[in-house]
């Protein structure tokens, strides 16, 4: 699922400057080996090695991002086939920096949470948090930036955010050493983990609402975080928490175990300030979910997903490409929801079809259409040799078959490619593309169901923060 920094997507976002360097252990004897955490890290690294090998392990190829990334618009258009991609996206990363920092955070905080929950319960919290993060990303993109629904996202950030939310409730008083970079100069300081994680959560909510057009999935982070807090009471063993509390409160003196009574018996709930800020942030997310519910009840639009396969001939060279695009159908018209996800030529094909009203046309239901003239072309910027030139794509022939609802079921598009010079233009190649409908679905019912699910998760996390924290905190401030 997408992360909180510029490296987490082919479309760059913002850089997170706060970097935790170490977390003081929660106390007690040496923990059991965190097998689940190590296994998750190993799987992520293995997937990254496979998907980034063609680039020398610097970044995952666009083809793998398209195959494994989660696309919310595809979830709305073809729900059953998109569910597995929620999981595959959780183990796919955009580039080396992206996976390094995600795995670093998981290693830093995941070991203590796994020690507390046990391997399988920890794994359940991790996976459910990643799934909930995808739900939040879909719901809030619908609210703040519908075009973002068509951007593929990858990364384990949503699932790791769930681990952070659980850690904050379990070990708010552990000391965390962090560095803040002012330019190239690091300033390091230590503070309780609860304040660092609270600040991080607040930034995800704030930037999610204010940077709607960013490629960073801030709401996926926020959703994973609240999911970790909401799920924790369901997967945590109260007996195990009590034992860990006793271990954390013991100290040895001349080989004897001595209980440090003030630490063991003092209040263990989150302090009122932390509770108030957490509650306010959760309520801000609740407002977004409630808005999505109200808006989705009146939403009368559909999303159609299309696959594109094309062959390009440029001079003596031939190329093949596979791409996808999404169309939003509203008021009897099909408008391009977002440019195709991978290539400029895939984008151009989508725009040509949309401009010529060839993707969705109720008047063509159950018909075939053949056009050999009158088609509107498009210009794109393309690198040819060492120069960036304007390439004109002029459609010459179109053949489409439409289903009973007026969607283009399958189509063929042929076009010539030319680039403009100071005087006239020069034909440099040709394009042959096939377009197929992958699926179409109503936006309103899908968003309504997902928004209700996110609302329920937020309400549960709010109840946990306000009333259950005393049962969960192991190392208080």
Q: Which residue has the tokens 């309780």?
A: 192
Query: Which 3 state secondary structure label does DSSP give 269?
Result: coil
Q: Is residue 209 part of a domain?
A: yes
Q: Is residue 184 part of a domain?
A: yes
Stated pTM of the model: 0.86
Phi, psi at 236, each rounded to 5°: -85, 135
Q: Are residues 24 and 172 in the same domain?
A: yes
Which value, to the nearest 10 degrees, does the dihedral of the CA atoms of residues 257, 260, 261, 263 take? -140
β-pair type (387-402, 408-420): antiparallel
Closest CA to 40 of 153, 140, 159, 177: 159
Q: Are residues 180 and 288 in the same domain?
A: yes
Q: Is residue 172 part of a domain?
A: yes
Q: Are residues 135 and 220 in the same domain?
A: yes
Q: Are residues 363 and 402 in the same domain?
A: yes
Q: Is residue 85 part of a domain?
A: yes
What the block records as the tokens of 406 is 């007026």
**For residue 250, what are the CA distances in angstroms to 221, 262, 270, 275, 475?**
35, 11, 21, 28, 12
pLDDT of residue 321: 86
Q: Are residues 323 and 178 in the same domain?
A: no
Q: Is residue 459 part of a domain?
A: yes
Q: Which residues contact 383 (CB under 8 A, 6 or more apart)?
A: 389
Domain that holds residue 386: 301-443
Rounded-to-integer distance, Cα 209 and Cα 198, Å? 17
Q: Is residue 477 part of a domain?
A: no
Rounded-to-integer distance, Cα 464 and Cα 461, Å? 5
Q: Is residue 1 part of a domain?
A: no
Q: Are residues 226 and 337 in the same domain?
A: no
Rounded mean pLDDT for each run of 10 residues along the chain, 477 residues in total: 40 36 53 89 97 93 87 89 92 93 95 94 98 96 87 92 97 83 77 93 94 80 98 94 80 49 60 96 97 93 91 86 85 60 77 90 93 90 64 92 94 90 76 94 94 97 96 89
Q: Are residues 457 and 378 in the same domain?
A: no
Q: Are residues 251 and 130 in the same domain?
A: yes
Rounded-to-integer distance, Cα 168 and Cα 165, Å? 5
What the block records as the tokens of 304 is 């159609």
By CB atoms closer than 10 A (0-12, 13-18, 19+), residue 254 is exposed
pLDDT of residue 463: 97
CATH at residue 236: 1.20.1540.10
Q: Is residue 18 part of a domain?
A: yes
Q: Are residues 185 and 228 in the same domain?
A: yes
Domains contained in the chain, number: 2
pLDDT of residue 141: 92
Q: Are residues 219 and 352 in the same domain?
A: no
Q: Are residues 264 and 305 in the same domain?
A: no
pLDDT of residue 399: 97
Q: Are residues 321 and 368 in the same domain?
A: yes
What the block records as the tokens of 391 is 């390439």
């Amino acid at each position: 699922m997408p992360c909180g920094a510029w490296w987490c997507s082919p479309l760059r976002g913002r850089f997170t400057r706060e970097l935790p360097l170490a977390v003081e252990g929660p106390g007690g004897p040496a923990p059991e080996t965190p097998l689940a955490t190590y296994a998750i890290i190993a799987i992520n690294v293995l997937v990254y090695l496979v998907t980034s090998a063609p680039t020398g392990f610097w970044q995952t190829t666009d083809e793998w991002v398209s195959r494994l990334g989660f696309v919310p618009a595809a979830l709305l258009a073809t729900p059953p086939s998109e569910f597995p991609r929620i999981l595959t996206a959780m183990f796919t990363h955009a580039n080396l920096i992206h996976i390094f920092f995600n795995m670093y955070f998981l290693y830093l905080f995941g070991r203590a949470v796994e020690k507390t929950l046990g391997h399988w319960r920890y794994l359940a919290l991790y996976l459910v948090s990643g799934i909930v993060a995808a739900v939040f990303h879909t719901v809030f993109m619908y609210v703040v930036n519908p075009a973002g629904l068509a951007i593929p996202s990858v990364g384990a950030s949503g699932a790791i955010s769930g681990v952070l939310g659980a850690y904050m409730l379990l070990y708010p008083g552990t000391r965390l050493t962090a560095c803040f970079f002012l330019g190239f100069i690091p300033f390091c300081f230590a503070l309780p983990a609860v304040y660092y994680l609270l600040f991080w959560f607040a930034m995800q909510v704030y930037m999610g609402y204010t940077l709607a057009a960013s490629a960073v999935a801030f709401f996926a982070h926020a959703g994973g975080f609240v999911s970790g807090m909401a799920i924790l009471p369901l997967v945590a063993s109260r007996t195990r928490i009590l034992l860990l509390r006793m271990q954390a409160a013991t100290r040895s003196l001349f080989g004897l175990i001595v209980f440090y009574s003030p630490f063991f018996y003092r209040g263990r709930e989150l302090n009122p300030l932390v509770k108030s800020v957490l509650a306010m942030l959760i309520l801000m997310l609740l407002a977004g979910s409630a808005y999505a519910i109200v808006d989705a009840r009146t939403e009368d639009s559909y999303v159609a997903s299309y696959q594109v396969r094309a062959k390009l001939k440029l001079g003596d060279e031939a190329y093949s490409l596979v791409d996808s695009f999404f169309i939003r159908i509203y008021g009897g018209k099909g408008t391009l929801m977002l440019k195709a996800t991978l290539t400029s030529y895939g984008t151009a094909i989508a725009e040509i079809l949309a401009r010529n009203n060839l993707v969705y046309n109720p008047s063509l239901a159950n018909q075939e259409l053949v056009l050999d003239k009158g088609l509107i072309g498009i210009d794109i910027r393309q690198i040819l040799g060492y120069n960036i030139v304007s390439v004109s794509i002029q459609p010459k022939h179109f053949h489409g078959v439409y289903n009973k609802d007026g969607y283009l079921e399958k189509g063929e598009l042929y076009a010539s490619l030319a680039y403009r010079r100071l005087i006239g233009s020069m034909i440099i190649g040709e394009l042959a593309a096939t377009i197929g409908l992958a699926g179409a679905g109503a936006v309103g019912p899908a968003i309504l169901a997902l928004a209700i699910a996110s609302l329920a998760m937020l309400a549960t996390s709010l109840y946990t923060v306000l009333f259950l924290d005393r049962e969960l905190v192991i190392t208080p401030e």
